[in-house]
A = this chain, B = another copy of it.
Amino acid sequence: MSSLAKQPASPRKRPRQARARVTVDAILQASTRILQKQGLEKFNTNHIADVAGVSVGTLYQYFPSKDAILIELIRQKRSQLSDALADAAAQSADLTLEQALDNLLRVTIAHQLSWPMVGRTLDYAESFLPLADESFNFKRELTDIISTLLAKFSVPNADMVARDLIFALNGLIEGILATHNADADQIFTRAQFLAHGYINAVREN
């Protein structure tokens, strides 16, 4: 369902064989683990290869550069969120705005929890990776999902409201995750408050 462009800096070699697929996955998983536990500082190709259990040479057969790995991670993460949100939106066709928003919220929070600690780091990585167009498209994709939902319920300024809601929720979720180890339910309740309150304010205005 995601329609992100996949051309620049994509994996050097399409893994057609099972073994190759396994190698690429090992590299990406090792990368994620390093990002989670040690951050960008220890995110270096030798270390990644080591953790992945392959040689650096092999790593470079599948990824043309270190940044390409980061880019692939970002794409996967975005892809997952994008798909999950689109799914949730599709399944919320008959619900009220609040109910539909809640579903999207749950999906978003679950997604963030499945990439623990990595969110902020990948967000920062975006700033130096050549992903401008892709990032723009991704944000539009997300915004469109929300914006379409809002428009369906005649919320004014749907597009801007969608963008701002995403920014605010992102800030809230990242913020909570960065401080306490809150569980999904708690985060949901707090995010729900924010979302409902904001949307109501916009509608009543």
Q: Which residues of A contact B (CB under 8 A)?
A: 39-41, 120-121, 123-124, 127-128, 139, 160, 163-164, 166-172, 174-176, 179, 190, 193-194, 196-202, 205
- Chain B residues in 8 Å Cβ range of A199: 197
Instruction: Count identical subunits in the complex.
Output: 4
- Chain B residues in 8 Å Cβ range of A168: 168-169, 171-172, 175, 194
| Chain B: minimal CB distance from A3 (Å) | 20
Kindly state the separation between the CA atoms of A205 and B167 in the bound complex, as whole angstroms.
24
* Residue from B39, B128, B201 in contact with A200 in the complex, judged by beta carbons closer than 8 Å: B201
- Chain B residues in 8 Å Cβ range of A163: 175, 179
| Chain B: minimal CB distance from A194 (Å) | 5
* Residue from B39, B160, B190, B200 in contact with A164 in the complex, judged by beta carbons closer than 8 Å: B190
Most buried by B among A166, A172, A176: A172
